[in-house]
Every structure is written in structure tokens, then in C-alpha cells.
Amino acid sequence: MSGASREIAYLRVEHEESEDESLLVAPIGATLRDVLLANGVSPYTAITDRLNCGGRGLCATCGVRFTGNKPVESATAEAEEDGSEDSHVPRPEHWHDELAARFGFPRLSCQTEVEEDMDVRIPEKIVWGSRRPDEGD
């Protein structure tokens, strides 16, 4: 692979509740929450759509799951080796998102930068936001 940098990434987004699926195109470097909202795909519930922290990493209502199976370093290295374009699980950069990742809770879409193609699942949420850790599904 040439190693040329990409300017866009493809996001496959599935809604656990409605079972809808969307394919979105996002500029590299965009915030996942912003990309979702700009495309009419809300990570929030009806209530938290209005009552959220505005992307400051405080309320944890913008949670999503990443269903890719490779951390970003691994996906990038393998893609360079074999030319494949795997979706990846972004590395947490924000303290709150790091805790979510460590304990298996949904990741904060407002604290996730689009760096590569991603498979994203918006979990079914109860009023405020999903608080259940990943049950290995």
C-alpha cells in the first residue's frame, strides 16, 4: 500500500432499537457525534437529545459501541501489509471515554475522532442513556 493519507472514512451505523442501518461518509478528523447528528442519526434518546452536555464529555448520553474488532494501530498496520481496509475500534483519548472502554460501557461519540472506517452500533437506551456494560454480544 502506498501509505497515502485518506481524506474520508466510511461509517456503517446500525441502530439496535430500530435495526436500521446507514452508511455515512465522514471527513477524517471529524468528531463522530457531529457526523452522526449532521446525517440525522442521533446517538441520544428523545430526552437527552435536548439535555446533553453539548459534546463536552460530561453527560455520557452520546454512547455508541464499536463493532470492529481491531484497535486502530493493528488495523492500520495490517492494512498496510495486506491492503485490506478493516474497520477499527478507536483508542480512547478522553478520561471519561477511557473509563467507558475499560469497563465495557458505551463509548462517547463526542470524544471520538474519525480516523479510519468504523462499524458503529447505537445501543438501545433507557431514558438517559445506556448504562449497561457490554454483555459480550
User: Which residues make up the interface to ligand FES (CB under 6 A)?
Assistant: 52-53, 55-62, 108, 110
CB of 44 to ligand FES, least distance (A): 8
CB of 129 to ligand FES, least distance (A): 9
Instruction: Give whichever of 28 and 58 is closer to ligand FES, judged by the CB atom.
Output: 58
DSSP track, 46-95: TTTTTSS-SSSSSS--SEEEE---SBHHHHHHHHHHH------BPPP-SH
Instruction: Give whichever of 75 and 130 is closer to ligand FES, judged by the CB atom.
Output: 130
Give the CA distances from residue 37 to residues 11, 20, 41, 110, in Å, rounded to whole numbers and listed in that order. Answer: 13, 16, 5, 11
CB of 57 to ligand FES, least distance (A): 5
Instruction: Give whichever of 30 and 53 is closer to ligand FES, judged by the CB atom.
Output: 53
